[in-house]
Amino acid sequence: MNTIGITILTLLATTITAVAQTPIDNKKIVQAGFDRWAKGEGSFFDLLTADMQWTINGSTPLSKTYTSKQQFLDEVIDPLNHRLSKKIVPSVRGLYADGDVVIALIDGKATASDGQPYNMSYAWFMKMKEGKIIQVDAFLDGIKFADVMKRIPAQK
């Protein structure tokens, strides 16, 4: 192979490596998102791509796959937040990365509008691409989640 061919291959390899996120990179991005959320400095959901898929596993009334960030925010996050007088503050119990997936075990503490605590543990399996979350499989206490959504009328 001539010098030009080797130079082109080297440039291509460098470009591909620069774009690819390592598991450590992905873990740092997700940790930074949780840190900002915990400090009240932004929304963790800013890490979601517009066309992401978020699946709430289980048998809650909201268990299904949401096929866009906006649908997920409109149908799950906003209605939940309208039922809380103190928003969820996350505490990361564990964060693990393998390939393009980051797994987070999170405890969230909040207060519902009726004054009762809304404390929840979550496990989120997040698939990453180019520093953004493109797919999530989420696990949570479905009974507690359904209860707060049913017990408290939505407030806007």
Select from 3.40.462.40, 3.10.450.50, 2.40.100.10, 3.40.640.10 the CATH code of 21-151: 3.10.450.50
Please tell me the predicted confidence (pLDDT) of residue 2. Answer: 60
Domain ranges of the chain: 21-151
pLDDT in tens, 51-71: 999 999 998 889 999 999 999
Residue 24 has pLDDT above 90, yes or no: yes
C-alpha neighbours within 13 Å on the C-beta side of residue 3:
0
* Range 75-86 average pLDDT: 96
Average pLDDT, the chain: 90
pLDDT in tens, 123-141: 999 999 999 999 999 999 9
Residue 11 has pLDDT above 50, yes or no: no
Percentage above 90 pLDDT, the chain = 81
pLDDT band at 36 (very low <50, low <70, confident <90, very high): very high
Nearest to 136 by CA among 123, 145, 149: 123
